[in-house]
Amino acid sequence: MKIFAISDLHLSLSKPKSMDVFGEHWQDHWEKIKDDWHKKVTADDIVLLPGDLSWAMNLKEAKPDIQAICAMPGRKVLMRGNHDFWWSSLNKVNSLLDDTAFALQNNAYVFGDVAIAGARGWLCPNERNFSEEDRKIYRREVHRLKLSLNAAEKKRQEKPVIVMMHYPPFNEDRAPSGFTRLIDEYDVKKVVYGHLHAHSLNTAFEGELNGVIYELVSCDHLDFGLKQIY
């Protein structure tokens, strides 16, 4: 079993939205991703998809995008990103999924010898323009990560934990946050995250920090190919 990751697919199959406005490299980006996905992933593998899956505003619009993801090889773990406005209750999201896809929200999954936990995350304190409203959402997301890690703890049986988040779990200065404290507390070995694009990639962190490996998996950062992370 291999584990791959890629985020920020930004699909729009029901109401096509050109991604070329974000750069010529985004042209036909889903075709590039699919081609690479089919080359790398087998039915026994896992693909982590940490957010910004679809531009859709509701479940009906999102259905073709989620069906396209479900049709791809492997077992898929999906998470909400800041642009996934279609993502409502977990039950409604699950109604779009087949038996090869799993929604991650306040829960955890075990595949083989690895546990998968995570939360969407949010801006961290000391970010520019961090507001009191941001603080409320940040605290809620820290709590959701704790719920997910608690669920993983009950299932893991000494298995290593991989955390997936949409937002990076720290600010540009890599200052400790509620997310990183939980990551340390629960002895997480690897974190994958997305959200960052364009100039934000210049200050993004990848590598080892306090014994944890961090992987940035925004699809444009990966040149629209999946990254094997386990």
Contacts of 106 (CB under 8 A, 6+ apart): 90, 119, 144, 147, 148, 151
Domain that holds residue 130: 3-228
Mean pLDDT of the chain: 94
Tens digits of residue pLDDT in 66-103:
999 999 999 999 999 999 999 999 999 999 999 999 99
Q: Which residue has the tokens 């619009």?
A: 61
Rounded Cα distance, 202 and 30, in Å: 24
Tens digits of residue pLDDT in 97-152:
999 999 999 999 999 999 999 999 999 987 778 899 999 999 999 999 999 999 99
Rounded Cα distance, 211 and 189, in Å: 7
Tens digits of residue pLDDT in 204-219:
899 999 999 999 999 9
Q: Which of 21, 88, 29, 19 is nearest to 55 (CA)?
A: 19
Q: In this structure, what token pair is assigned to residue 174?
A: 């890599």
Q: What is the mean pLDDT of residues 27-38?
A: 96
Task: Say if residues 76 and 43 touch (Cβ distance below 8 Å).
Answer: no
The structural domain count of the chain equals 1
Strand order in the sheet with 161-165: 109-111, 114-119, 161-165, 190-193, 212-216, 207-209
How many angstroms separate the Cα of 201 from the Cα of each of 38, 133, 164, 187? 27, 25, 18, 27
Helix (H) or strand (E) holding 129: none
- Confidence check: pLDDT of 21 > 70: no
Rounded Cα distance, 65 and 56, in Å: 8
- Confidence check: pLDDT of 19 > 80: no
Rounded Cα distance, 189 and 13, in Å: 36
Which CATH number covers residue 73?
3.60.21.10
